């Protein structure tokens, strides 16, 4: 992982900001991810006055990209974006500033005519897990392709812990001592151990709830009068597995939470009385849940929670010489 002198000195922790006069003119977008900004305000100071100066021309950046990994990343993103611009001038100097919002990372600009800068790269920043003191500076982490990965559920765990400890407005009003719904699923300690529990409104504790789309029938797994006693000894699905529900049960167990409430399995679906009683309490059931798992990526109970996802290309750099400050990775976004 080699960096040229210019890249090594980029003030990545706090890049210089864009002057307000630039921001006031607003960004102009074109073609989805191509978010280039062109400012033609005569009053704007030229970037020499505020940005971190990088290479003064494309040819010098290209040359440095042969040996510097960050220059390579910047150059690739520049060539991808510049070819889409209506006036692809390639003789301009490169400057680096902070991103427009308070996100971490930096923007790369080229400076041509007076008062006209164009955005030719936007990079996020983050640290690898276990990056020591750098973790307190950079909030970003690499994204795993598989969201059911153990690393991902550990991050969820940390978020939930942080949320319950520090956010006074989040979480159920009764915390860990909420009334459990009339029925909940005890997720057990390993897959296959889940079973239905009837609390008769006498138990307290904490539980997750599942928000999801049932999707197209059949829903042969749902709770009925005939399978109630079976589900109370063990929930095993005979036909097609409702993957979303199984995933939610597994995730609940991974988070160290014992119960989950899922409407299809906790409300008797062939009893008007039970359905009437229980559906009237749904607002409370969701409101009292320690955490609601929202299966937003699936339109069916058969599709599951953990879809594969695109991950941005990342490049790992060792920016700091200190031993406990291991890694830093900018990535184009």
| Site for Zn ion, rule CB under 5 A | 4, 7, 68, 70-71, 163, 167, 170
State both tokens at 184: 């909940």
Phi, psi of 76 (to 5 degrees): -60, -45
Residue 266 in contact with residue 183, Cβ under 8 Å?
Answer: yes
Nearer to Zn ion, 1 or 34 (CB): 1
Nearer to Zn ion, 8 or 333 (CB): 8
Nearer to Zn ion, 108 or 122 (CB): 108
| Shortest spacing between CB 236 and Zn ion, in angstroms | 35
State both tokens at 130: 């276990």
Cα angle 324-327-330, degrees, rounded to a multiple of 5? 150
Nearer to Zn ion, 70 or 245 (CB): 70
H or E element in which residue 204 lies: strand 204-205
Give the other-Cβ count within 10 Å of 154's Cβ: 13
Nearer to Zn ion, 73 or 81 (CB): 73
| Shortest spacing between CB 145 and Zn ion, in angstroms | 26
CA-derived radius of gyration, the chain: 26
Nearer to Zn ion, 68 or 291 (CB): 68
| Shortest spacing between CB 305 and Zn ion, in angstroms | 20
Residues forming a β-bridge with 118 = 110
| Shortest spacing between CB 6 and Zn ion, in angstroms | 5
| Shortest spacing between CB 97 and Zn ion, in angstroms | 17
| Shortest spacing between CB 7 and Zn ion, in angstroms | 3
Phi, psi of 106 (to 5 degrees): -155, 165
State both tokens at 105: 């990372």
Nearest to 36 by CA among 68, 80, 98: 80
């Amino acid at each position: 992982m080699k960096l040229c002198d210019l890249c090594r000195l980029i003030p990545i922790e706090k890049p210089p900001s864009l002057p307000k006069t630039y921001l006031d003119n607003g960004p102009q977008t074109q073609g989805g991810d191509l978010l280039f900004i062109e400012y033609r305000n005569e009053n704007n100071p030229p970037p020499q006055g505020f940005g971190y100066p990088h290479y003064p021309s494309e040819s010098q950046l290209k040359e440095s990209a042969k040996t510097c990994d960050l220059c390579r990343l910047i150059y690739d993103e520049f060539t991808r974006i510049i070819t889409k611009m209506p006036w692809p001038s390639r003789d301009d100097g490169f400057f680096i500033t902070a991103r427009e919002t308070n996100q971490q990372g930096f923007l790369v600009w080229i400076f041509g005519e007076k008062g006209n800068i164009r955005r030719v790269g936007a990079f996020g920043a983050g640290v690898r897990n276990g990056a020591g003191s750098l973790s307190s500076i950079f909030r970003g982490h690499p994204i795993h392709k598989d969201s059911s990965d153990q690393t991902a559920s550990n991050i969820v765990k940390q978020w939930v812990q942080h949320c319950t400890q520090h956010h006074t407005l989040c979480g159920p009003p009764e915390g860990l001592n909420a009334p459990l719904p009339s029925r909940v699923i005890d997720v057990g300690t390993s897959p296959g151990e889940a079973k239905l529990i009837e609390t008769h409104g006498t138990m307290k504790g904490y539980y997750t709830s599942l928000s999801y789309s049932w999707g197209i029938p059949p829903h042969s797994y749902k709770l009925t009068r005939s399978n109630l006693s079976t589900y109370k000894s063990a929930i095993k699905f005979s036909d097609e597995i409702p993957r979303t529900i199984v995933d939610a049960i597994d995730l609940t167990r991974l988070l160290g939470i014992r119960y989950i409430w899922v409407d299809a399995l906790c409300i008797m679906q062939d009893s008007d009385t039970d359905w009437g009683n229980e559906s009237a309490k749904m607002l409370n059931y969701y409101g009292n849940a320690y955490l609601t798992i929202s299966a937003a990526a699936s339109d069916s109970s058969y599709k599951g929670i953990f879809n594969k996802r695109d991950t941005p290309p990342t490049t790992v750099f060792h920016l700091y010489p200190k031993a406990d400050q291991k890694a830093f990775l900018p990535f184009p976004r």
